[in-house]
Amino acid sequence: MNNLTFGRYVPFNTVVHRLDPRNKILMMILLLVSIFFRVSTWSTALILTGFQFLILIGIMLLAHVSFKSLFKSLSMMWILILFLMIIYIFIPNPAYNADHIAFHIGNYAVNYDAFVQAGYIIFRLVMMIMITMILTSTTKPMDLTYALEWYMTPLKIVRFPSHIVAMTLSIALRFIPTLLDETQRIMKAQSSRGVDFNHGGLIRRVRALISLVIPLFVSAISRSEELSNAMEARGYDPYGKRSRYRILSFHFVDLVGFVFVVAIFGAMLTFLILDKKYMNVDFIYWIFHAKPNF
Amino acid sequence: MKSVEIKDLTYSYNGVDPILKGVSLSLDKGEYVSIVGHNGSGKSTLAKLILGLLPFSKGTIIVNDLELNKKNLQTIRNKVAIVFQNPDNQFIGATVEDDIAFSLENMNMPREEMISKVKEYASKVGMLDYLTKEPSYLSGGQKQRVAIATALVRNPDILILDESTSMLDPNGKSEILSLVRRMKIENPNLTIISITHDIEEAYNSDKIILMHKGEIVLTCKPIELFKNRELINKYNLKVPFVVELKKKLQELGYNVTDKNTLEELGEMIWQSK
């Protein structure tokens, strides 16, 4: 259950919390895309990602996102890191510099570039996690669904029922804690009847899990029936005209935030386009090589 | 004016054994009616049928002089509200205010009006301080109070309580019952149909309908029902405290035939020698 704490909404009253969720989603997408822009030289790439990293740290501090839960979620990533390392080390890449050989495994030469490459990817993945964490821990899940609904409205032209999808999503979100409680209750009930969820081999555990999943599904289905009755009784008609209680509004802060993010995005894009031809900001290269080669 | 009229209503879930067998009843406007009976007697099914949540083929239901059919369904639903048994399964919004607003959104009410209505009804049920709270932070009684607010905010003529207090602790129970009574005083025209196992509540209502195996056995004033020992034994009903006390006093040789409330009996006890 503890894994679920990752990215859970934490109620604070910061600027980031107050931003319009629609704006936040858009900004998140822009930042995510800009992280995965690739420039040609290592040092440029390092400087740019480092710059983005610092900005993200700044936003996290501003939004009171806990670094502890970030580390917690990163500790779950070590399998991925290992996997990436193995992939990068054992798949030969002609682009690697043949001089940069770290060590040999048998006859196979392991290149330094492989580590750098893998590290770079992992670094960007970490930043990706940071961005999504900033979004989910500063935005109520309900506000996210309202924002998604807003983004889906153009689909109404092709008769896509965006409001129904949003309603379904919001009900699903609303019932997560209820179903978690239910899971705990069924687990206790089954444990008291002698089911052991924590010991034994894989097959035994899966068997134990079945005794949890089936009652959970049965209760969820009967719940959904009661819920639909309650909704109908309160006059819900998915195809009828409904007014809205929650209204999303775009404030001046949103504009400031948006301009800021677009500026970052624009800067990254400029680097990406001008990189090869005109802008060699290969500072590190200059520092370490007395005679620059341009 | 009649509030609900049901004629010869038969319903079965599977088409074979009927859960309701030719039920007929008629309720006046502003009545507080309790429907009692054991599990499986068809009480809850009756409530769902009145709301048009189940399709029925035999019999007629007339609510507010309108016959329940496809055409009138939405009109009737706007006039009938229900509070179900499980507090969790009828909480639709993310927070208390969203849940109350859900009922209003369905009525396509303008937003400004909604905001004031949500506040008004939240304060009526004493949940004004909890407007932004999520259901997981509320007790069962509080959730049920919200459910009553979501029902009443639609300004219904008929309020059905489908065992609304049966999953609550004694505190929550008495809270809800006193709340309903207060709402009834505020709006005397509200017809309340309470499906209940709580015999004390039934005793305090205007009328009792006793159901057994899909049929209405008896419709009468509560006092009449509890006078009839034979019926009570036959249907294995609990007896309210007042009735029990009256019986004991009678056995001691007091004349209590015209005294029906705890207060009257109390008066009599302290005045007697």
**pLDDT score recorded for residue B74:** 87
CA-based nearest distance B100→chain A, Å = 10
**pLDDT score recorded for residue A1:** 38
Q: How far, in Å, CA of A90 to CA of A109, rounded?
A: 9
Q: What are the chain A neighbours of B81 within 8 Å (beta carbons)? A: 233-234
Q: What are the chain A neighbours of B94 within 8 Å (beta carbons)? A: 140-142, 170, 173-174
DSSP single-letter state for residue B59: E
B154 touches chain A (CB under 8 A): yes
Size of interface A-B (CB pairs under 8 A): 94
With 50 as the cut, is the pLDDT of residue A27 above it? yes
**pLDDT score recorded for residue B91:** 92
**pLDDT score recorded for residue A19:** 93
Residue A43: C-alpha distances to residues A33, A37, A50, A84 (Å):
20, 14, 10, 21
Q: Is position A55 within any domain?
A: yes
Consecutive H or E run containing B33: strand B32-36
Instruction: Order across the sheet with B215-220: list the strands.
Output: B80-83, B158-162, B191-195, B32-36, B207-212, B215-220
Per the CB < 8 A criterion, the answer to whether A18 and A252 are in contact is: no
**pLDDT score recorded for residue A91:** 81
The answer to whether A236 contacts B106, with C-beta atoms less than 8 Å apart, is: yes
With 70 as the cut, is the pLDDT of residue A290 above it? no
The pLDDT of B68-89, averaged and rounded, is: 90
pLDDT tens-place string over residues B187-212:
899 999 999 988 888 888 899 999 98
Q: Is position A244 within any domain?
A: no
CA-based nearest distance A54→chain B, Å = 35
| Distance between start and end Cα atoms, chain B | 48
State whether ipTM is beyond 0.90: no
Q: How far, in Å, CA of B103 to CA of B100, rounded?
A: 6
pLDDT tens-place string over residues A124-134:
889 999 999 99
The answer to whether A245 contacts B114, with C-beta atoms less than 8 Å apart, is: yes
Mean pLDDT, chain B, integer: 88
pLDDT tens-place string over residues A47-101:
888 889 999 999 999 999 888 888 888 887 888 888 888 888 888 777 777 777 7
Q: Is position A183 within any domain?
A: no
The answer to whether A226 contacts B89, with C-beta atoms less than 8 Å apart, is: yes
**CA nearest to A225 within chain B:** B89
| Burial zone of B78 (CB within 10 Å; 0-12 exposed, 13-18 middle, 19+ buried) | middle
Consecutive H or E run containing A207: helix A202-233
Percent of chain B with pLDDT over 90: 36
Residue B52: C-alpha distances to residues B65, B89, B184 (Å):
15, 19, 24
Contacts (Cβ under 8 Å, ≥6 apart) of A277:
none
Q: Is position A261 within any domain?
A: yes
- Decide which of A257 and A94 is more confident: A257
The answer to whether B111 contacts A240, with C-beta atoms less than 8 Å apart, is: no
With 50 as the cut, is the pLDDT of residue A284 above it? no
Interface of B with A in 105-144 (CB under 8 A): 105-111, 114-115, 118, 134-136
With 80 as the cut, is the pLDDT of residue B260 above it? no
What is the band of B266 on the pLDDT scale with cuts at 50, 70, 90? confident
Q: How many domains does chain A have?
A: 1
With 50 as the cut, is the pLDDT of residue A160 above it? yes
The residue segments making up the domain with residue A261 are 2-139+249-288
The answer to whether A142 contacts B94, with C-beta atoms less than 8 Å apart, is: yes
CA-based nearest distance B149→chain A, Å = 12
pLDDT tens-place string over residues B118-157:
999 999 898 999 998 888 889 999 999 999 999 999 999 9
Residue A108 has phi, psi (to 5 degrees) of -85, 125
Of the ranges A3-12, A94-103, B126-135, B235-244, which one carries the lowest mean pLDDT score? A3-12
What is the band of B271 on the pLDDT scale with cuts at 50, 70, 90? confident
| Interface residue of B102, B137, B139, B150 to substitute, partner A, most A CBs within 10 Å | B102
With 90 as the cut, is the pLDDT of residue B111 above it? yes
**pLDDT score recorded for residue A2:** 42
The answer to whether A226 contacts B101, with C-beta atoms less than 8 Å apart, is: no
Which neighbouring-strand residues pair with A53?
none
What is the band of A294 on the pLDDT scale with cuts at 50, 70, 90? very low
Q: What are the chain A neighbours of B82 within 8 Å (beta carbons)? A: 230, 233
What is the band of A275 on the pLDDT scale with cuts at 50, 70, 90? low
Domain ranges in chain B?
A: 240-273
